[in-house]
Chain A
Amino acid sequence: MKVSHIALKNIKRKFFRSIAIIISVTVVAATLFSVTTVMDSVETSLEKGTARLGADIMVVPAKAQAQAKATLLAGEPSTFYMDRNIVDRVRKIEGVKAASSQVFLKTAKYKCCAVNDMQLIGFNPSTDFSIKPWLIKKLSRPLRDNEIIMGRELTAFDVGSSIRIYGKDMKVVGMLDETGMKFIDNSVFMPYSAMEKISEESKTKKGVKAANLPIDKISTVLVQVAPEISAERVAIFIEHEIDGVKALVTEHVISSVRKQLFVLLRSVFSISIILWVMALLLIGVVFSMIVNERQREIGLLRSMGASKGNIFRLIMTEASILSLSGGILGIIIGGVFIYVFRGLIRSSLNIPYLWPSPLEFIILIAICLFLSLATGTGAALYPAIRSMRMEPYEAIRGGE
């Protein structure tokens, strides 16, 4: 017979009390797990998205600042333009390592399929540093004028299939990895020359809505900053040197999302902390009751040869089994919750969202399990110490 067997029997003895402890830990673990998973998902997504974007600064027309942020973070298809020569002016500014322009165009609505407006992004293959690394790695050749790359969320199309964009059939030659940032995941990428061709040809095609791509205009300039200078400083230089533009530091945009997320999740965290404190108190009170109720039993066990350590272990094993059960249950419930409601979470938060990697999941699960265990054992610690310090004879007499 082992001490853990006695602990298990004690747990079964007060079934409803044990269930109450498990539920309290379950609620805490489920809340913590779901909130931290959502936060981690957003963080992962922002990191991947910015890595894919590869830009420290995004220069956009000043009046389109809000629109640009919405496009970058929420992937809302939009078009805004500024003069093409801005990219050359940006290149000359101190601290700019590389600059490349992109042009945005929205697709017309398709009658054939379920895809609504898509963001078309035209990039300059000779200066691009955002899509080109992927092209070199996965395609090993430049894109042709009838080829496009798609974001991972445009699942209606497979690699090898064709999409008619403004009357021109474009072949899907690749899918970017999922980033969680809708700007990338919901967009179609093609060289700027291909976009110009589509626009030109659409004007002469019958029954096709003209693309109306403005001549000599760009939507944004993506900027890479030299390592010796900060992105904030370069952004100030850009805004100072070029009128009518806004230099969005991507790190700032991300931190604004973090702030937005923090405000949103602060209340959930506050509730989690309240729940955690309540669980700690509940378990502490319950284990104090258990120790008082079992005073004679503890004395008897000591008279049979149980050491102080055995008694401590018995109480802590009970607390560990209950809190770990609650933790496991909480993680399962929290996990199922965020999986079932992932669509709702995405749409209601309107921020980048990407599932954490398996390793991150394992770390999150381990942290939540550790916290659950710490909750139960932490709360039971004082009653366990009290129980082991009881003098056997006094414990036996006290329980009479």
Chain B
Amino acid sequence: MIEVKDLSKTYKVGTDIVKAVDNVSLKVEKGEFLSIVGHSGSGKTTFLSLIGGLTKPDSGTVSIEGTDIWSISDNKLSELRNLKINFIYQFSSLIPTLDVIENVLLPTAFSRDKDKKYCDYAMELIETVGIQDKIKSYPSQLSGGQQRRAAIARAFINRPSIILADEPTGDLDEETEIEIMNLFKEMNKNNGITFLIVTHSSELAKHTNKQYRMLNGKLNEA
């Protein structure tokens, strides 16, 4: 389902060239629940962005359901991101001008199919993440945990087949972390959504079925 072949990405930092991702290959089957563990600067976030089509690799290919994402037009890639892949970030990724329900519905603004009835599903998702009493609240009125829950609800609104999560429980308390990971497991089990979670925490990685380790841009199975 996700096939990464010989993927490399370098950055220029001042006069130095840093290899963020170094010739990485990976195969992820549909419905897998896996994690990539690595310390800060190991290249795991860059790797996730390359898989999600947010940044272009220097070399190598990324195929999602058989489509080489860097050989298609920007519009097609945007459509792919909109319908099949979604991201959950470690920071507050809500749009401050929109309330919770609007934030959850946001990806539908870029969807071609405007006739779909998303509102009921958005309400269902908000209830699932347990912030139903906050639907009209703005991000500034929410706690860090509530913001993360709203972002998770948003990630599922277009019924994606892949979730790419970058430190999804970073700076959250242990209790919330467990709740969120349980929610991911449920979504993975019930809806067959593929999860690729990158984290610095080996403890968090233990919740996933398969773990990889990333070090200096190289990926190895843990």
Residues A9 and B54 in contact, CB atoms below 8 Å apart: no
Shortest CB–CB separation between residue A270 and chain B, in angstroms?
A: 39
Residues of chain A contacted by B143 (CB below 8 angstroms): none
Q: What B residues does A305 contact at CB under 8 A?
A: 78-79, 81-83, 107, 110-111, 158
Which one, A27-35, A159-167, A235-243, A392-400, is touching chain B?
A392-400
Q: Does A310 contact B (CB under 8 A)?
A: yes
| A304/B55 contact (C-beta < 8 A), A2-B109, A297-B95, A309-B75 known | no
- Asked, given contacts A5-B109, A305-B111, A392-B54, whether A300 binds B82 with beta carbons under 8 Å apart, the answer is no
Residues in A373-400 with C-beta less than 8 Å from chain B: 391-394, 396, 400
DSSP class of A's interface residues: helix, strand, loop or mixed?
helix
Contact of B55 among A10, A301, A308, A391 (CB under 8 A): A391
Q: Answer yes or no: A127 CB below 8 A from chain B CBs.
A: no
A304 touches B97 (CB 8 A): no
1/0 per residue, CB under 8 A from A, across B94-132: the answer is 011110001001111111000000000000000000000
A152 is an interface residue with CB less than 8 A from chain B: no
A5 cross-chain contacts in B, Cβ below 8 A: 102, 109
Interface check A205, CB cutoff 8 A: no
**Cα–Cα distance between A9 and B139 once the two chains are bound (Å):** 14
Is B159 in contact with chain A by the CB < 8 A criterion?
Answer: no
**Residue of A whose beta carbon sits closest to that of B76:** A307
A184: shortest Cβ distance to chain B, in Å? Answer: 59
Query: Does A306 interact with chain B (Cβ within 8 Å)?
Result: yes
Contacts of A306 in B (CB 8 A): 78, 82, 109-110
Name the CB-closest residue of B to A4: B109
A10-B97 in contact (CB<8A):
yes
When C-beta atoms are compared, the residue in chain B nearest to A14 turns out to be B97
Residues in chain A near residue B49, CB distance under 8 A: 392-393
Question: Closest B-chain residue to A391, C-beta based?
Answer: B55
Residues of B within 8 A of A394 (CB): 55
Is B70 an interface position by the 8 A CB rule? no
Query: Is A1 touching B55 in the complex (CB atoms < 8 A)?
Result: no
Contact A304 B54, CB 8 Å, known A1-B102, A13-B97: no
B55 near A302: Cβ-Cβ < 8 Å: no
Q: Choose from B74, B81, B95 the contact partner of A308 (Cβ within 8 Å).
A: B74
**Cβ of A6 under 8 Å from chain B:** yes
Q: Which residues of A contact B5 (CB under 8 A)?
A: none
| Cα A316 to Cα B56 with chains together (Å) | 27
Which segment, of B24-32, B85-93, B171-179, faces chain A?
B85-93
Please provide the chain B residues from 65 to 85 with a CB less than 8 Å away from any CB of chain A in the complex: 74-75, 78-79, 81-83
Once A10-B97, A305-B82, A400-B91 are accepted as A-B contacts, the answer to whether A391 and B56 lie under 8 Å apart by CB is yes
> Of A9, A299, A300, which contacts B97 at CB under 8 A?
A9
Question: What is the CA–CA distance of A183 and B172 in the complex, to the nearest angstrom?
Answer: 85
Query: In the assembly, what is the distance between CA of A303 and CA of B55, in Å?
Result: 10
Asked if B52 is at the interface of the complex by the 8 Å CB criterion, the answer is yes
Contact among A3, A6, A310, A391 for B95, CB-based, below 8 A:
A6
What is A's interface to B at a CB cutoff of 8 Å?
1-3, 5-6, 9-10, 12-13, 297, 299-310, 391-394, 396, 400
Closest 7 CB pairs of A and B: A305-B82, A393-B55, A307-B78, A393-B54, A9-B97, A392-B54, A393-B49
**B interface, CB within 8 angstroms of A:** 46, 49, 52, 54-56, 74-75, 78-79, 81-83, 86-87, 89, 91, 93, 95-98, 102, 105-111, 154, 158
